Amino acid sequence: MSDGAWWWAAFAIAAAAAQTVRNAAQRELTRTLGTVGATHVRFLFGFPFAVVFLGLIVAATGTWPPAPPAAFWPWVVSGAVTQIVATALMLAAMGERSFLVVTAYTKTEPVQVALFGLVVLGDAVTLPMIAAILIATVGVVLMSLRPGQAGLQTGGLRPMLLGLGSAALFAVSAIGYRGAILTIPAGFVTAASTTLCLALMIQAVLLSAWLALRDRAVLIAVLKAWRPSLLAGFMGAFASQLWFLAFALTAAANVRTVALVEVLFAQAVSRFAFGQRATARELFGITLIVAGVVLLLWVH
């Protein structure tokens, strides 16, 4: 395999690093803007940067992107809507558990894809796959327990369910975006950038309209907080640009495997930026989650 064939891995690693910074910035904005407001920041302030990215590509190639076909829209809309809800669930979970722990919850995404395949599509599940799912599940349970608890109580169960729900919707979103990219008859860079631009436009319009109707005060607060929101917006658009480039080159499962390095980045941010120390139990749980996900994708 030529070196160029591994560009998707480089894109995924860089995207994981950028996404960690974006998540940390959004987490801080949750304190002043609330969960929905901080969720909106990612899309509203990310959209202009996505337009800039697409403009640079058009200038470099001298070619305008083709009009997306009809098959593009169901894919991109499903990806955009599920990503909105997934982001909101993730930020809500981060308000109750540490940055590192919630990031690890979201990394169960590939495991959930296998479970969805079994329940919805009737895909066969082998013994090694069952072992991988059980290993990752034990890791999630270990992380959900707090010192002194005899079992899963509200303090541990609620953020766990929020994190796992977020992972499930991120999985659906990734599939939607890859499907959208593959429908555009253009090079992978143009197809990925066009999809990103239109997805962020849909998300910015939907959330702006929802807030304008339901909670105008939050929308005003988001607009007033434009300075601290620029970092989250830029890093969000930059991470998405890299994710989409990776999705254009290989299957989403491959990209999500490499994305597990985000847990390591999150551990560094959690320790040095937020002063949150992971317990030995939580670190062991993270290890089991990563091991289970890697084993699952390896046996595939």
**Alpha-carbon gap, residue 102 to 79, rounded angstroms:** 21
> How large is the average pLDDT for residues 190-202?
95
pLDDT at 253 over 80: no
Mean pLDDT value across residues 181-194: 92
List, in order, residues 6 or more apart from 135 with CB less than 8 Å away: 288, 291, 292, 295
Q: Which helix (H) or strand (E) segment is 205 a member of?
A: helix 188-214
Q: Which residues contact 147 (CB under 8 A, 6 or more apart)?
A: 279
Structure tokens at 217: 């005060």
Question: What is d(CA 48, CA 112) in angstroms, rounded to the nearest whole number?
Answer: 33
Q: How confident is the model at residue 1 (pLDDT cuts 50, 70, 90)?
A: very low
Is the Cβ–Cβ distance between 177 and 199 less than 8 Å? yes
Check pLDDT > 50 for residue 3: no
Which comes out higher in pLDDT, residue 255 or 100?
255
Asked whether 127 and 291 are in contact (CB, 8 A), the reply is no
* pLDDT tens by residue, 138-175: 776 676 565 554 444 445 677 778 888 888 898 888 88
User: Rounded to an integer, what distance in angstroms lies between the CA atom of residue 11 and that of residue 66?
Assistant: 24
How far is residue 128's CA from residue 299's CA, in Å, rounded to a whole number?
A: 7
pLDDT (0 to 100) of residue 118:
64
* Confidence tier at 61 by pLDDT (50, 70, 90): confident
Burial class (CB in 10 A: 0-12, 13-18, 19+), 144: buried
* Cα 267 from Cα 278, distance rounded (Å): 8
Amino acid at position 73, single letter? W
pLDDT number for residue 131: 80
pTM: 0.76
Number of Cβ atoms within 10 Å of the Cβ of 124: 7
Band the pLDDT of 273: cuts 50, 70, 90. Answer: low
Mean pLDDT of the chain: 80
Please report, for residues 187, 246, 254, 262, the alpha-carbon distance to residue 192 in angstroms, rounded to integers and kept in the order given. Answer: 9, 9, 17, 21
* Among 139, 22, 171, 23, residue whose Cα is nearest residue 92: 23
pLDDT in tens, 123-138: 566 787 778 767 876 7
At 183, the pLDDT band (50, 70, 90 cuts) reads very high
Place of tokens 């959930």: 112
Q: Helix crossing, 226-249 with 47-61: angle to 10°?
A: 50
- Is residue 234 within 8 Å of residue 228, measured between CB atoms? no
**Structure tokens given for 237:** 């658009």
Instruction: Report, in angstroms and rounded to the nearest whole number, the Rg of the chain calculated over CA atoms.
Output: 19
